[in-house]
Structure 1
Amino acid sequence: MLYEHLGARPRIHDSAVIAPTAVISGDVTIGPGCQVLHGAVITAEGGPITIGAHVIVMENALIRATAANAVHIGPHTLIGTLASIAGATVGEQVFFASGARIFNGALVGDRCEVRVNAIVHRRAVLPAGTVVPIGWVAVGDPVQLLSPDQDEAISAAQPELDFPGHVFGVDRDTPDLMVQLTERYGSSLARHADDVRLDADGRAADSGE
């Protein structure tokens, strides 16, 4: 399913194959030879998404850009089932295994591997060829690779990240933080009420445009 969002329509190369149950919304460019499988969601929430040639997005994966963080994915990258990439820049020939999580502002270099259920935290920078082991966490610049039981070390490596402020525009010390966050974020997401569903040729599905 294709959607126009905030006046922008997906641009999909003729040789790309998009499953009918995938969702592609907004300012998304998908290059030649790409495969987007069933249940995948690629949504540009105020920022663009660019996917290079021969990228495979497997079942139920999520790629999401924001106004603060665009997404770029280099060619010949594989994004595994249930993996998610939010506002990150990804190089060429990268492998994201099932359940990998890549967060806003991360930079993932060429030929990296992020293995099953591993996490690349906000603003982490992975040099080319880095391997993040199964379930481990990559954090910081220069990057540290830490096992999930090292929660104190993980927290110490990222005290300045301010997730609510950077991602949602709400200061962490705001009274009623979650009230402010959900109302502001909900208002932004409500713009999807004006989305226009497109047919396979990129025309408005209901208007014959």
Structure 2
Amino acid sequence: MLFSHLGFEPRIHPDAVVAPTAVISGNVTIAAGCQVLHGAVLTAEGTPIVLGENTIVMENALIRASSTHAVHIGAHTLIGPMASVAGADVGEEVFLATGTRVFNGAQLGDRSEVRINAVVHVRTTLPPDTVVPISWVAVGDPLLILPPDRHEEIWAAQKELDFPGYVFGLDRQTPDLMVQLTERYGRSLARHAQDVPVD
């Protein structure tokens, strides 16, 4: 299903294949040789999404560009089932395994591997050829790669990266943070009410 959003229609190369149950919304460019499988969602919320040639987006993966963070996926990259990429720059020949999460402002170097259920946190940089092990967390720049049981170390690095400030423009110390966050984000997402299906 293709949708116009904020006046932009998806641009899909004729040699790309997009499953009929995938959702492509807004300023999305899909290059030659790409495969976007069933249930995948690519939604450009104000900045573009660009898939390089021969990229594969597997079932139920989510790629989301926010109003301030575009998504660029390099050529010959595979995004596994149920993986999500939000506002990140992913290099060429990258492997994002099933269930991985890549957050806003992250930069993944060429040939990186993010293995099953691993996380690349907001504003984190993976140099080329980096491997994030199964369920581990990559955080920061300079990079730390930590197992999930080292939560205090992950949180110490994460806190400095300021997820609510960087992604939503809200101070973490705001007393009603979640009220402001959901109301602001909800207003932004409500713009989809004006989406128009593209024939």
Q: TM-score, normalised by structure 1?
A: 0.93
Please tell me the root mean square deviation across aligned C-alpha atoms, in Å: 0.8
Instruction: Give yes or no for the alignment of 1:128 onto 2:128.
Output: yes
Letter in 2 for 1:18: V
CA positional deviation for 1:162: 1.8
CA positional deviation for 1:86: 0.4
Deviations 1:68-109 (A, max 9, x none): 210000000000000000000011000010001000000000
Give the match for residue 62 of structure 1. Answer: 62
Letter in 1 for 2:143: V
Letter in 2 for 1:193: A
CA distance in 2, matches of 1:170, 1:91: 29
Give the match for residue 205 of structure 1. Answer: none
CA distance in 2, matches of 1:157, 1:117: 19
CA positional deviation for 1:66: 0.7
**1:70-109 equivalences in 2 (<5 Å):** 70-109=70-109
CA positional deviation for 1:166: 1.6
> Which secondary structure does the structure 1 equivalent of 2:159 belong to?
coil
CA distance in 1, matches of 2:176, 2:159: 21
Deviations 1:47-76 (A, max 9, x none): 111100000000000000012210000000
Of structures 1 and 2, the larger Rg is shown by 1
CA distance in 2, matches of 1:103, 1:50: 16
Q: How many residues are treated as equivalent by the alignment?
A: 199
Deviations 1:29-60 (A, max 9, x none): 00000000000000001111110000000000
Give the match for residue 202 of structure 1. Answer: none
| More displaced stretch, 177-186 vs 167-176 | 167-176
**1:147-166 equivalences in 2 (<5 Å):** 147-166=147-166
Letter in 2 for 1:53: E
Q: TM-score, normalised by structure 2?
A: 0.98
5+ residue gaps, structure 2, are: none
CA positional deviation for 1:160: 2.1
CA distance in 2, matches of 1:172, 1:111: 34
Letter in 2 for 1:64: R
- 8 Å contact 2:71–2:88 — kept in the other structure? yes
- Ranges of 4+ aligned residues in structure 1 off by more than 4 Å: none
